[in-house]
Chains A and B, each alone.
Chain A
Amino acid sequence: MNSLFEYLLRLGDDSLILGHRLSEWCGHGPILEEDIAMTNISLDFIGQTTTILELAGQVEGKGRTNDDLAFLRFDKEYRNLLLVEQPNTDFGFTMMRQFLFDAYRKPLFEALMKSNNKQLAAIAEKSLKETKYHLRHSSEWVIRLGDGTEESHSRIQESLDTLWRYTGELFFSNEVDAELTESGVLPDMSGIEAEWKQTVDEVFAMATLTIPESPWKFEGGRIGKHSEHLGYILTELQYMQRAYPNMEW
């Protein structure tokens, strides 16, 4: 197994699938400004995907382009988190999912800037700047909805209760991470979880939200075991390339 390729798929697939989820809001946002915000953020994620999967293709060395990787893999070959494939549900749920992810991506990219792989470090440096904007946007909404009306509070608390069980996977690690740490591609990542938890605690305190007590956590996305939702995403995402192989526009 090519560990760097695997790791780049994790990064790229998180961006691709979450970017796709956000794009589903296009034309359906609760207000015009948020419609624009979500599609702008989606665009950032798709842009990140382009460079990450391009690098993945080079690292794999089998001549696959970023488009090949995005459009022509099967569900079990995707390495994204279960968190990012969860359906949008309502706007509050989307913002909660985004916040839990952004709060993880920021310290992750900060760490990856120190990778000894120059290309990966450059991608992290570039993406970090956008991630800070995304985090600011999603945390503001979590606070506004949590500390808002009775209804907005109860609905976003429910979103947190549902999504919390997918957050354990954020810090998944296996032999891929071990090997990349050994070779210096992955710098010290030990502080990421603590920083994520601190951000999450701070924002939830302001939002008057409570972390659910159940310790149960789902995982599987990082090794290709996905929820049923990924299949539906891929059906839509890959339709054109599957129906008309090699089509261009």
Chain B
Amino acid sequence: MVTELEIWKYLEEVFDPEVPVLTVVDLGVVRAVKINGNSCHVVITPTYSGCPAMKRMEEDIIDKLTEKGVENITVELVLSPAWTTDWLTEKGRIKLREYGIAPPENEADKSTLFADPVIVPCPQCSSKNTRLVSQFGSTACKAHYQCNDCLEPFDYFKCLR
């Protein structure tokens, strides 16, 4: 008989296909795990509406749990409450930085048109002297920055609230 805790442990072996250092748990997309008799129900929420990785994560979750011998797995996608970068775990933030992606900073509410530009420290040299190259980076969840000191270009996992 598998427990919820074990399922959570197994899910820590399922990685985001686009940011492979993060697990689906680090990313905060797994919202709930429910065990009911001999069936297992996993609730996930998408990061961005059009994120092509969601379908893949759903399949990877089923594959991983099946591999661990779990049966009758269902994965449900829910939209509300909507995912925000605040759900990224502390462990996830550290992994991102080590991987060379700047984790989300606390940004002002985007409802104001031109909030003060956020300071994103360089994940390579920690300099705060960096600049935004483009609000849109290699994937929907990232913006493109460059460090003015070490000149290294880097991805910023942008804040979504």
A residues contacting B by CB (< 8 A) are: 33-34, 36-37, 40-48, 50-51, 106, 118, 121-123, 125-130, 132-133, 135-137, 139-140, 199, 202-203
Contact = CB atoms under 8 A, between A and B. Distances in A.
Interface of B: 46, 48-52, 78-82, 84, 110-111, 113-114, 133-140, 144, 160-161
Nearest to B109: A132
Most interface-central of A40, A125, A199 (chain B CB within 10 A): A40
Given A33-B144, A36-B137, A45 B50 contact: yes
Contacts of A125: 79-82
Nearest to B134: A33
A36 B48 contact: no
Given A37-B134, A40-B140, A202-B113, A48 B80 contact: no
A33 B161 CA distance: 23
B47 to A, nearest CB: 10
Contacts of B139: 40
6 contacts: A36-B136, A42-B50, A122-B79, A123-B79, A126-B79, A129-B161
A45 B137 CA distance: 17
A58 to B, nearest CB: 14
Contacts of A44: 48-50, 140
Contacts of B52: 43
A129 B136 contact: no
B49 A51 contact: yes
A127 B133 CA distance: 24
B93 to A, nearest CB: 19
B133 A33 contact: yes
| Those 7 A-B pairs whose CB atoms lie nearest each other, nearest first | A47-B50, A47-B49, A43-B50, A122-B80, A33-B134, A37-B136, A122-B79
B140 to A, nearest CB: 5
Contacts of B144: 33
Given A43-B50, A126-B49, A136 B136 contact: no
Nearest to A202: B113
A64 B137 CA distance: 35
A196 to B, nearest CB: 13
A45 B84 CA distance: 18
Contacts of A36: 134, 136-138
Most interface-central of B46, B80, B114, B144 (chain A CB within 10 A): B80
Contact of A46 (B50, B79, B133): B50
Contacts of A46: 50
Contacts of A133: 110, 135, 160
Given A37-B134, A133-B135, A126 B140 contact: no
Contacts of A106: 111
B80 A126 contact: yes
Given A43-B48, A140-B114, 7 more contacts: A33-B133, A36-B136, A42-B50, A48-B49, A50-B49, A121-B80, A133-B110
Contacts of A135: 113
A118 B81 CA distance: 11
